[in-house]
A = this chain, B = another copy of it.
């Protein structure tokens, strides 16, 4: 843990610097996976699954039966929790349904926008020991609400060749029926290019390791859209003397347990909190199953005392954290002044884990300072906007000269002619 007491502003960039992810050592292997899947399709997917997941698959696609009976293997308690989370996520995301808008920008010049779902989307759910069921909800619910016609899901099989039933259950309640047992860069390639079994999609969503992230980057330069650039997860906590150090420590640890590369930052206006939080971290850390990971992340954590609130706001807006927890007496006021952050958690009883799972907001958020320019996932991430216009005869008569003048200034005579030829026709008809 690095502790900074009133660092000067010129120190901030160094203190808040994020580790740069260097993909160069992965590049060749990711590229060769992409090319191989593009050329050899299903065969290469099965080979990679044998190599990386030690599973010899006969079929890439999971049988429907297995998806629809997955719930039988879950406790009622877990199914109830999933139902509550689903309810809240649906409520928050359905509020985001965009409205088509229309305006006459001039008499006779009618312009509007129509929103359409992206037709084919691919959701990636990483494997590993823990089943990321919450991510199935966070991606699948807005995809369904947006009205995407085809929603497919790729996830690597476990060592026993099966997929965790909690993942399958979440998919099944959302009506996601096309699930493929393939992970890593090869899954991204399959969804980007399509194979004999796996359909090509228009946009790929979901988290993953560095191979997955880099594969998403590379295919996004070709022919498919991706949700957003992804990096290690982050939290910043702003606290004043009203904050409970045990709450702060718990929030920092819940970020730290994600991975040793997680970013964990506390910024406080009261210097004493730092030592109290440190004590609490030690106590709470002792019992964590993922203690080693959390300890690794905490080694890079920053505990910063800054003596005035204006500077704290400036620092946080410059850092643009993925998650921002505000545990201050005046949290509402500070919250209003946040300009750059993925998601903001206000007040003592709003832990980040609420947003990670069940309050309703999306947990797919911009990391690495991307919150300066990107939004978290929303319903609009699964839709696109088409602009329309219809110009009447009189509308073109009014607007024609403007178009012609500008087109001619840009030396694009054919653009001008497309108006001129119509105006001439209108004169003939008079």
- Complex interface: stretch among A50-58, A179-187, A223-231, A269-277: A223-231
Q: Cα distance A370–B221 when bound, in Å? A: 11
Chain A, 315-347, CB within 8 A of any chain B CB: 331-332, 335, 338-347
Q: Does A207 contact B (CB under 8 A)?
A: no
Q: Does A62 contact B (CB under 8 A)?
A: no
- Please indicate which of the listed interface residues A229, A405, A414, A417 has the most CB atoms of chain B within 10 Å of its own CB: A414
Q: Cα distance A31–B80 when bound, in Å? A: 53
Known interface pairs A340-B116, A399-B358; A390-B353 also in contact (CB < 8 Å): no
Can you sample 19 A-B contacts with CB below 8 Å?
A77-B405, A82-B406, A87-B106, A91-B103, A95-B101, A109-B359, A113-B378, A120-B372, A129-B411, A132-B410, A246-B425, A254-B414, A257-B415, A289-B413, A290-B412, A331-B390, A344-B386, A353-B407, A378-B385
Q: Cα distance A307–B29 when bound, in Å? A: 48
Q: Cα distance A332–B110 when bound, in Å? A: 13
Q: Least Cβ distance of A379 to chain B in Å?
A: 11
Q: How many copies are assembled?
A: 2
Chain A, 354-412, CB within 8 A of any chain B CB: 354-362, 368-376, 378, 380, 384-393, 395-396, 399, 401-403, 405-407, 409-412
Contacts from A to B (Cβ < 8 Å): 77-78, 80-82, 84-85, 87-88, 91-92, 95-96, 101, 103, 105-106, 109, 111, 113, 116, 118-120, 129-134, 166, 202-203, 217, 220-221, 223-225, 229, 244, 246-247, 250-251, 253-254, 256-258, 284, 287-290, 294, 331-332, 335, 338-362, 368-376, 378, 380, 384-393, 395-396, 399, 401-403, 405-407, 409-419, 421-422, 425-426
